[in-house]
Structure 1
Amino acid sequence: MSSVPLISIVDDDPSMRVAVASLVRSLGYRTSEHPTAEDFLASGEWQQAGCIVSDIQMPGMSGIDLTRRLAELGSTIPVILVTARTETVLVNDAIEQNPIALLKKPFESEAFIEWIERALASKP
């Protein structure tokens, strides 16, 4: 098992997954990419991830539902949720799941990097 943290990226948009993974790898971290929350959960990888970056709006299980499911599984892995949507109900539902961050797309690389670092520093 590598001592380099694994950042798991869950997003149905292939270009977003590639862009985020490229940025994360440029920081020296390992990455994995998943097109759906269901795929990510089925991989069992959530148990090794140092941080999870998930889009909120995806077909099937949303990023909010993924965060809720991880909590039900007893996971303490920090989750960064990202979204292009700003509806109050959606934002409030996301915040209720206690992600380490909720970022609005498009987000600044510097802010994203700061949250990745915070997430990894907060992991028990």
Structure 2
Amino acid sequence: MKNKRLLISVVDDDESIRESLPDLLREFGFTAKAFSSGEELLTSSELAQTSCLILDVAMPGMTGPDLQRELAIRQPGIPIIFITAQRDETLRPRLLKLGAIECLLKPFSEADLLKALNTAVRGD
């Protein structure tokens, strides 16, 4: 359980993702916190402790890429793993070019998520 101190923050407007993904992250040995919007994350005390961010691309209000740009100003250096249901082939390369660690298509496998997390927090 060497990941226990690492906080993974999940931002997704889908309640089922906000409920299930933190449970999976805890099974992987991380601490996890879910937020329903980018605005909620930005006003939280957890932002400063976040070791990695799992971020939905398409959300009402502030989108995932909007939040990525805001965090580059406020809290640079937080690795971001995007998750999306969008089947746009140009999206993943664009997000990676902007600095994301990975962009996973929903539904993604646990193995793919864990691999992206290991890259994000350990540089694997």
TM-score by length of 2: 0.88
User: Offset of 1:92 from its aligned partner?
Assistant: 4.7
Deviation larger for 18-27 or 42-51: 42-51
**Which SS does the other structure have where 1:20 is aligned?**
helix
State how far apart, in whole Å, the 1-side matches of 2:31 and 2:119 are.
17
Runs of 4+ in 1 over 4 A off after TM superposition: none
Measured against aligned partners, the alpha-carbon deviations of 1:20-75 in whole angstroms (never above 9, x if no partner) come to 11110001111111000000011142221110001000010011111111112251
Aligned counterpart, 1:37? 38
Q: Percent identity?
A: 34
Q: Indicate conservation of the 8 Å contact 2:48/2:75, yes or no.
A: no
Whichever residue aligns with residue 62 of structure 1, its letter is: T
Q: Indicate conservation of the 8 Å contact 1:64/1:93, yes or no.
A: no
Aligned counterpart, 2:87? 86
Deviation larger for 43-52 or 4-13: 43-52
Whichever residue aligns with residue 19 of structure 2, its letter is: V
Aligned counterpart, 1:72? 73
Whichever residue aligns with residue 121 of structure 2, its letter is: L
Aligned counterpart, 1:22? 23
Gaps of 5+ in 1: none
Aligned counterpart, 2:10? 9
User: Offset of 1:90 from its aligned partner?
Assistant: 3.9
Equivalent pairs counted in the alignment come to 120
Give the 3 Å change call, closer, same or farther, for CA 4–38 of structure 1 in structure 2.
Answer: same
Gaps of 5+ in 2: none
**Which SS does the other structure have where 2:107 is aligned?**
coil
Q: Indicate conservation of the 8 Å contact 1:11/1:58, yes or no.
A: yes
User: Offset of 1:120 from its aligned partner?
Assistant: 0.8
TM-score by length of 1: 0.88
**Which SS does the other structure have where 1:61 is aligned?**
coil
**Which SS does the other structure have where 1:103 is aligned?**
strand
State how far apart, in whole Å, the 1-side matches of 2:43 and 2:83 are.
21
Give the 3 Å change call, closer, same or farther, for CA 25–71 of structure 1 in structure 2.
Answer: same
